[in-house]
Structure 1
Amino acid sequence: MSWSGGGGGPSVGVIGLGGMGTALSQELLLAGYAVMVHDRRPERVEELAAAGTEVADSAAHLAANCGLVITFLPGPTEVEHVLVEAPDSVLSGAREGTIVLDMSTCGPDTAIRVGEAFDIAGCVFVDCPVSRKAPEMTVLIGGEPGVLGAAEAVLAAVSRTLVHCGSRGAGYATKLLNQHVKYAWYLASSEALLIAREWGLDAAAVAQAIERSSGGDSGLDTAAEFFRGDVAQMATHAPARTIHKDMQLVKQLAAGSSVRSPTVDVVADFFERVAETHYLERPYPESTELLARLRRERPSAETRTGAAESRTRSTPS
């Protein structure tokens, strides 16, 4: 199936014209695709209509005319309503074989419920949340390679990176974990700069210095070394003893200000636990093994079974 505007193929439909949906629609037009858009706020569609998109008066109307439907919606409630539950939903207008890609941020259970509804209708639903706007998007695909079919070429034309994250729901889950890493780093950084200001330092200058130092790295690459089993790279890092010493000094620095920093406490306390083990003399990324035990990374079989049963009960028949 082709979605090229000049070949008479079905349009690419975009529902939800905030910043992300508008940018994607514009890039699709530039790439030569026929585009149909829908948003409940008429003012959102005017600029795109002037640029050459068709306008649908409902999600069902759009789905009936588009072989590929892409949605950007505020959250799980809106996704389930617009895609499945509403009288004029995407599902109500979709034809057999329609591909529906949701680029919203939701939890994996939403993908399971919505996906099963589209499965029954003979359509394809894939959770595809994104990071950044088109054409710089990274698309986090909840499915194995090939799940997008002909739609993959469309996404490749308007994105920087396509990442297949696993089975249905894995795209949503990966996006949520991305958000956690991003905003945990933001929170730790903000607390550090508050402490700097309390000590009479120029917070902007401290931020610039940290950005150009090891603190400018979120730590994700180092954490990933453990999960890749990259023993050689882990061995290049300082022993946990050094980090333990440093974090005790950081804790003292924070205590000397009026700023309460839970992120400092959590990190310092973790390396206190590390200091009680053989990991103290090992490269600090190896202490992830201890972290996994402390955080109960792997739930028991009973817990996993219970969670699966809960999802099954919550899925419409």
Structure 2
Amino acid sequence: MTDTVGVIGAGRMGAAMTARLRSAGVEVVLWNRTAARAAAVAAATGARVAATARGAAAAGPVVLVSLADDAACRAAYDGPDGIVAGAGPGTVVADTSTVAPGTSIELAALVAAGGGAMLDTPVSGSVPVVERGELTVMAGGRVAVLDRARPVLDLLARQIFHVGEHGAGATMKLAVNALVHALNQAVSEALVLAERSGVARRAAYEVFANSVAGGPFVQYKRAAFERPGQTPVAFSLDLVGKDLDLILDLAARSGASMPQAAANRRAVADAVAAGLGDEDMSVLARYLRGLA
């Protein structure tokens, strides 16, 4: 088992991964662009804080990256204090960020030029899923490199799928999120339909949860939909918009027709314009109630 892991990014998922690794007895060296956020996570988990992304990347043979978007990834990888500078021979960088497949390919080439190896390893699952070690990992890159990262990924994941070369993991994550965001829109619309037609919210959701549609998404978003404003933000609506932009760009590049994703993007844009971007993705139901 790897004794020390570098973690780049102390947002919701990065913090949860840090806590999970620390609970398994793994030393974590953490870096975040906002130092105060890294310090808070370190104080809560017992992780150590690195002054630079380079320092965290040099901490162990496996480095986990969890950043918000393509721009944040490029900024963290590049430069004399970046991930590439710290990821020398023998280092595996497993990037869990949701980014464009082309960005993953680009960053993998940079890491390889510096002597390290990279995988795109985006994940499916929320913070509670991380805490239980039950993420699904979609890995792109060489199988031999994935095998070197498995001891760390196995602490976070219930299942790991190798789906192809660099960029394939990122592609698969966008495909999964296209489905997740469609489900979020559908649940929001169906719940508001039931409510406006006279069925109590909790009664309606109880039926959803026990119907043929009651899969994992419906189950783990139950509290957020039933008690809006009383549950922590798991995935903000502005990040949904970012994902849908990446999904539609990939669709345009690959020639895939995605009319539902396009409609979902318009709905999310309207809700974000109404000031709901920082709220959980389930806030779409509240937005639709207002329209009704």
Q: CA deviation digits over 1:203-252, x for unaligned, max 9?
A: 44233223322233599xxxxxxxxxxxxxxxxxxxxxxxxxxxxxxxxx
Is 1:99 the counterpart of 2:92? The answer is yes
Query: In the alignment, is the contact (CA less than 8 A) between 2:6 and 2:56 conserved in 1?
Result: yes
Counterparts in 2 of 1:258-297, with a 5 A limit? none
Q: Which residue of 2 aligns with 1:235?
A: none
Q: CA deviation digits over 1:16-63, x for unaligned, max 9?
A: 111211121122222222221111323323355444322210011222
Q: Which residue of 2 aligns with 1:76?
A: 70
Deviation of the 1:130 alpha carbon: 1.3
- In the comparison of the two structures, how many residue pairs are matched? 214
Is 1:31 the counterpart of 2:24? The answer is yes
**CA separation in 2, counterparts of 1:214 and 1:53?**
43
Query: In the alignment, is the contact (CA less than 8 A) between 1:20 and 1:72 conserved in 2?
Result: yes
Q: CA deviation digits over 1:255-292, x for unaligned, max 9?
A: xxxxxxxxxxxxxxxxxxxxxxxxxxxxxxxxxxxxxx
Q: CA deviation digits over 1:114-141, x for unaligned, max 9?
A: 1111122221011111122422222211
Q: Describe the SS at the equivalent of 1:161.
A: strand
Query: In the alignment, is the contact (CA less than 8 A) between 2:57 and 2:83 conserved in 1?
Result: yes
**CA separation in 2, counterparts of 1:217 and 1:22?**
27
Normalising by the residue count of structure 2, what TM-score does the alignment of the two structures yield?
0.66
Query: In the alignment, is the contact (CA less than 8 A) between 2:53 and 2:86 conserved in 1?
Result: yes
Q: Which residue of 2 aligns with 1:86?
A: 79
**CA separation in 1, counterparts of 2:103 and 2:97?**
11
Q: Which residue of 1 aligns with 2:54?
A: 60
Q: Describe the SS at the equivalent of 1:162.
A: strand
Gaps of 5+ in 2: 218-254, 258-292
Greater length-normalized contact order (CA 8 Å, ≥ 6 residues apart): 2
Q: Which amino acid aligns with 1:156?
A: D
> Aligned-pair RMSD on alpha carbons?
2.4
Q: Please say which of residues 161-170 and 196-205 is displaced more in the overlay.
A: 196-205
Q: Describe the SS at the equivalent of 2:199.
A: coil
Gaps of 5+ in 1: 5-10, 220-295, 299-317
Is 1:158 the counterpart of 2:156? The answer is yes
Q: Which amino acid aligns with 1:3?
A: T
Q: Please say which of residues 201-210 and 11-20 is displaced more in the overlay.
A: 201-210
Q: Describe the SS at the equivalent of 1:168.
A: coil
**CA separation in 2, counterparts of 1:218 and 1:65?**
36
Counterparts in 2 of 1:45-194, with a 5 A limit? 45-50=38-43, 51-83=45-77, 85-132=78-125, 133=127, 134=130, 135-143=133-141, 145-194=143-192
Q: Structure 1 residues 199, 113: closer, same or farther in 2, change over 3 A? A: same
Q: Paired residue for 1:20, among 7, 13, 18?
A: 13
Deviation of the 1:199 alpha carbon: 3.0
Deviation of the 1:152 alpha carbon: 0.8
Larger Cα Rg: Structure 1 or Structure 2?
Answer: 1
